[in-house]
Structure 1
Amino acid sequence: MTFAPTSSAVIAEITALGPFFALHTHAADARPVEPWVPMSRQLIEARVSAVRGWLAAAGEQPIDAIEVRVAASVTHLGLAARLLSPALAAFVLHGRLLTFGLADVHWQPVLGGPIPLSVPGTAMSSGSVPPEELTSFLDRPLGELAAAMRPFSLSPHILQGNIASALNGAATMIGAAVPELAERTRTAVTLLLDSPPLRDSATTTANGAFQRRSCCLIYRAAPGRKGSLCGDCVLNRDADSTKRR
């Protein structure tokens, strides 16, 4: 008889994939104890301000040189990547589903690296789930994260592109760490990208590369708004042009 691994065993396996996948757990009714804090809207908004200051310092610019929506997009992309990566890994490793809302998450909003993340110990399904259930993660907590970004005037197109980019990044890291999972991972990502929340957020180029259909805006944080483009940016198709959106 084959027994399903425990949730703690799956989380240990996920965490071994690297810092973007690492998960801590806490009791479902536990209050965060410093340095852990709740992932509340108020603290997400505070992180946007912190990221804005960090981007300004990195470019040796005054903070007013960094558009708030640029800092918001960078914040959203980073948080989406941290939430998505372990969830995708749990599914492709063992078919398990992580189910939690932002209010359930404890985090340490450090700058300049992967964010320490803790979820309730009860957040993982006890057994494998059908692939289509994976799409529920796009509503909660990612839908709640998108709602937290509303004060910053980020278009749904940018938010969807950020999630698509985060998914592709997570899939690339899983495939590099565990090559035998690469095909299963890409199948799961395709399922998510074909679901209504992310449909038309990304495409495949003529040479088979992933490309999002929006820009995360980070190039605008560089002096003169002339920073490098991300490898999956839609603007790379205009790389010979000076056009920037």
Structure 2
Amino acid sequence: MDQLAALGPFFALDTHHRDEPARPPWQELRTLVEDPAVLRERVDGVRGHLAAAGGQDVADVELRVAASVAQLGLTARLVSPTLGVAVLSGRWPRPALDLARWQPVPGGAFPLSFAAAAFEPGTPDDLLAGPVRELVLATAGLSVSPKVLWGNVASAVNGAATVLAGARPELAAEARAAAALLLAHPLLRGTVATVPPGTGRFRRRSCCLIYRAAPGGAGALCGDCVLSR
């Protein structure tokens, strides 16, 4: 856990006993996909933040833009520690939604906790076909294209590998290899235009839409955006 936390706030993890009930401020992460109100509350929070950053009314920020940005942040928070465990320990964990808890505080690097069972040997499929896919399906219900959402997943994978390689240069090759395994998964096929990940040459085939949150929809593009030149 200390090694993960040293990689950055998106990698930090707490642990809990699976049989102990979640006590406030902790909540079961699965409520994000099982209770539409919980996800909508998260999206509305992001929408308010984006509006304030642009000096706009909340209504000026499209719901689908806020939903995409929220899903990207949630996914990055799940992907980062999972990839970090794989690189540091040499084996993939299996972070199922029913094994994870969170504190829905503002910001991307919210407190996250895994039950001990999440650290049993897993595969990249456990992450992508499990909690990540569930978040994609839930967020798609807020009028966001699945192509955009899966592109967000690819971006989160590359971002995690890049941050890990920057924090631990001696593990850069392992970080890129772990990211490559995730990006080769069938669910992420076709999401990336340029590889390898974590090298500064990564580009996705879609846009997270955050540029549209700026006044007039004229915000800056992310470095890995398909629209960027």
Native 8 Å contact 2:93 2:118 kept in 1: yes
Distance 2:207 2:28 in 1: 29
Larger radius of gyration: 1
- Per-residue CA deviations over 1:27-47 (Å, capped at 9, x if unaligned) read 112222122122213322210
User: Is 2:136 the partner of 1:141?
Assistant: no
Q: In the alignment, what sits opposite 1:190?
A: 180
Native 8 Å contact 2:101 2:112 kept in 1: yes
TM-score where L is the length of structure 1: 0.85
Which of 5, 9, 12 is the matching residue for 1:22?
12
Q: In the alignment, what sits opposite 1:203?
A: 193
Which of 72, 93, 99 is the matching residue for 1:104?
99
Distance 1:174 1:118 in 2: 19
Amino acid at match of 1:49: D
Q: Provide structure 2 residue ranges, at least 5 long, that are not aligned to the other structure.
A: none
Q: Provide structure 1 residue ranges, at least 5 long, that are not aligned to the other structure.
A: 1-10, 238-245
Secondary structure of the structure 1 residue equivalent to 2:203: strand
Aligned pairs, how many? Answer: 222
Native 8 Å contact 1:102 1:145 kept in 2: no
Which of 111, 122, 127 is the matching residue for 1:116?
111
Native 8 Å contact 2:26 2:102 kept in 1: yes
Alignment of 1:1-245 (within 5 A): 11-39=1-29, 40=31, 41=33, 42=35, 43-125=38-120, 133-204=123-194, 209-237=201-229
Distance 2:108 2:131 in 1: 21
Native 8 Å contact 2:99 2:117 kept in 1: no
In structure 2, relative to structure 1, the CA distance for the partners of 1:147 and 1:73 (3 Å cut) is same
Secondary structure of the structure 2 residue equivalent to 1:25: strand
Distance 1:149 1:214 in 2: 16
In the TM superposition, residue 208 of structure 1 has moved relative to its aligned partner by: 6.6
In the TM superposition, residue 106 of structure 1 has moved relative to its aligned partner by: 1.4
In the TM superposition, residue 25 of structure 1 has moved relative to its aligned partner by: 0.9
In structure 2, relative to structure 1, the CA distance for the partners of 1:156 and 1:121 (3 Å cut) is same
Amino acid at match of 1:103: D
Identity of aligned residues (%): 51
In the TM superposition, residue 146 of structure 1 has moved relative to its aligned partner by: 1.1
Distance 1:15 1:232 in 2: 26
- Per-residue CA deviations over 1:188-212 (Å, capped at 9, x if unaligned) read 211221221101101227x971001
Q: In the alignment, what sits opposite 1:8?
A: none
In the TM superposition, residue 116 of structure 1 has moved relative to its aligned partner by: 1.0
Q: Which moved more, 1:161-170 or 1:37-46?
A: 37-46
Distance 1:58 1:115 in 2: 20
Native 8 Å contact 1:21 1:82 kept in 2: yes
Amino acid at match of 2:153: I
- Per-residue CA deviations over 1:96-153 (Å, capped at 9, x if unaligned) read 222132233211122234111111122102x6x6xxx223310111111112213212
Q: In the alignment, what sits opposite 1:6?
A: none
Native 8 Å contact 1:101 1:144 kept in 2: no
Distance 2:186 2:78 in 1: 19
TM-score where L is the length of structure 2: 0.91
Secondary structure of the structure 1 residue equivalent to 2:193: strand
